[in-house]
Amino acid sequence: MAENAPRRGVHARAPLGAVDGGRTSSGAAALDRVIHERVRLAIVSALAVNETMTFNQLKALLATTDGNLSVHARKLEDAGYLACRKSFQGRTPRTEYRLTPAGREALERYLDHMEALIRATRG
């Protein structure tokens, strides 16, 4: 069920990837659409500086709904960027997320991409 390239539009190529123009051939990676989304980017960023965060913590941080957070967290899980652990605290179910090494790499690639973009358009 991996969904490595969620399709939100008809174009195969991501707009930010296209910015590199002639430089794309130099191996500039296409933009990672899995984390190029507001909620998912925030989840990955928050988990980059916190070893683990619970579902409720993320929900409060992002000021979003259960459903919305579940959908986005699932996409990140499916891409292998997030590891999820479910347990019980008393009778209350508790879901805890952590970033996988692949997720950390994805964020680093995304940061590199943004920096490259700023450098490329400087001037």
Partner 1 sequence: MTGPIALYDDDEEPPALRDQAAANLRFIRDAMASSTAFTAVSGRGGMVMGATAVAAAVVASRTDSRDEWLMVWLLAAALAGAIGVVATHQKARVAGVSLFAGPGRKFALGLAPPLVAGALLTAVLLRSGDAGLLAGVWLLLYGVAVVTGGTFSVRIVPVMGACLMVLGAAALFSPAGWGNWYLAAGFGGLQIGFGALIARGFGG
Q: How far is the CB of 80 from partner 1 (least distance, A)?
A: 20
Question: CA 17 to CA 117: how far, in whole Å?
Answer: 9
Binding letters toward partner 1, positions 31-50, x by CB under 8 A: -----xxx--xx--xxxxxx
Torsion angle, CA of 65/66/70/73, rounded to 10 degrees?
Answer: 60
Candidate residues 24, 29, 30, 57; the one interacting with partner 1 per rule CB under 8 A? 57
Question: CA 27 to CA 25: how far, in whole Å?
Answer: 5
Of residues 69-108, those binding partner 1 (CB under 8 A)? 89, 94, 107
* Residues at the site binding partner 1, with contacts judged by CB under 8 A: 8-11, 14-16, 19, 36-38, 41-42, 45-57, 60-63, 89, 94, 107, 111, 114-115, 117-118, 121-122
